[in-house]
C-alpha cells in the first residue's frame, strides 16, 4: 500500500479540507498566534468542557468540544505555515492532545462517580485506557521504525462518537462505543506491528 495515501478517516478529512484549514491558519499566522498558544487554548477549553461534563451539563460541554475540534488540525498547520515545525513541537502537541482527551474522560468519571454508577466508572476507565493505548501503540511502534497509522478509532473518530453522545445527552452510549472500539484499535495496531516485524524478519532471512 502507498503510505502517502490516507489510511484513516482523519487522514482523509485532513487532505480533503487542507485548503480551508490552511486559509484559517494563514489568518492566525497574520494575527501573530503561535502554535503553542493555540494548543494551550485548546487545553484550557477542554478543561472547561470537562468541568461542564462533570456537572452533567452535557449539551454545553459537547458544544465546547465541537468548537475546539478544529484546533487539533490548526496547531500543526500553523506551525507549518510559520516554518516552526520541529520534533519538539510535534511532541508537545501530542502530549497536550493526550491531556485534553483525558480531561474529558476525567469529567465523565467524576459525573458517574457522583451518581455511584460503578459500572460506568469502570467503562470510562476502559475507554480512557484504550484511547491512550491507541496513541501509545503508534508512538512506540514508530519509535521502533514501523508504520503505525491504521486502525478503526483514532482520536478524530473518538470525538465523532463522544461529541454527539454528549450533545444528545447519551454519554453512556458514547463511552461504551469508545471502550470497545478504542481497545479494538489498539489490538489492530499491535497486530499490524507484529505483521511488519514478521515480514522484516522473513525478508532478512531470505536475503542471507
Query: Which active-site residues does the annotation give?
Result: 97
For the CA atoms of 192, 193, 195, 196, what is the dihedral angle to 10 degrees?
Answer: 120
Query: Rounded CA gap, 56 and 4, in Å?
Result: 42
- 131, 101 Cβ separation under 8 angstroms: yes
**Nearest residue to 136 (alpha-carbon basis) of 62, 200, 187, 76:** 187
Query: Rounded CA gap, 162 and 171, in Å?
Result: 7
Amino acid at each position: 500500500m502507498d503510505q502517502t495515501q490516507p489510511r484513516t478517516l482523519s487522514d482523509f478529512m485532513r487532505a480533503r479540507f487542507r485548503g480551508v484549514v490552511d486559509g484559517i491558519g494563514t489568518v492566525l499566522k497574520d494575527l501573530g498566534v503561535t502554535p503553542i498558544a493555540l494548543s494551550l487554548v485548546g487545553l484550557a477549553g477542554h478543561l472547561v468542557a470537562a468541568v461542564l461534563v462533570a456537572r452533567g451539563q452535557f449539551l454545553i460541554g459537547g458544544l465546547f468540544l465541537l468548537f475546539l475540534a478544529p484546533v487539533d488540525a490548526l496547531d500543526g498547520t500553523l506551525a507549518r505555515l510559520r516554518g516552526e515545525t520541529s520534533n519538539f513541537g510535534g511532541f508537545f502537541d501530542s502530549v497536550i492532545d493526550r491531556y485534553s482527551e483525558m480531561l474529558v474522560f476525567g469529567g465523565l468519571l467524576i459525573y458517574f462517580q457522583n451518581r455511584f454508577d460503578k459500572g460506568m466508572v469502570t467503562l470510562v476507565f476502559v475507554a480512557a485506557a484504550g484511547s491512550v493505548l491507541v496513541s501509545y501503540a503508534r508512538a512506540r511502534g514508530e519509535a521502533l521504525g514501523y508504520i503505525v497509522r491504521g486502525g478503526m478509532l483514532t482520536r478524530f473518530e473518538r470525538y465523532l462518537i463522544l461529541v454527539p453522545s454528549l450533545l444528545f445527552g447519551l454519554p453512556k452510549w458514547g463511552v461504551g462505543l469508545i471502550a470497545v472500539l478504542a481497545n479494538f484499535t489498539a489490538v489492530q495496531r499491535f497486530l499490524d506491528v507484529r505483521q511488519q516485524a514478521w515480514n522484516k524478519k522473513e525478508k532478512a532471512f531470505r536475503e542471507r
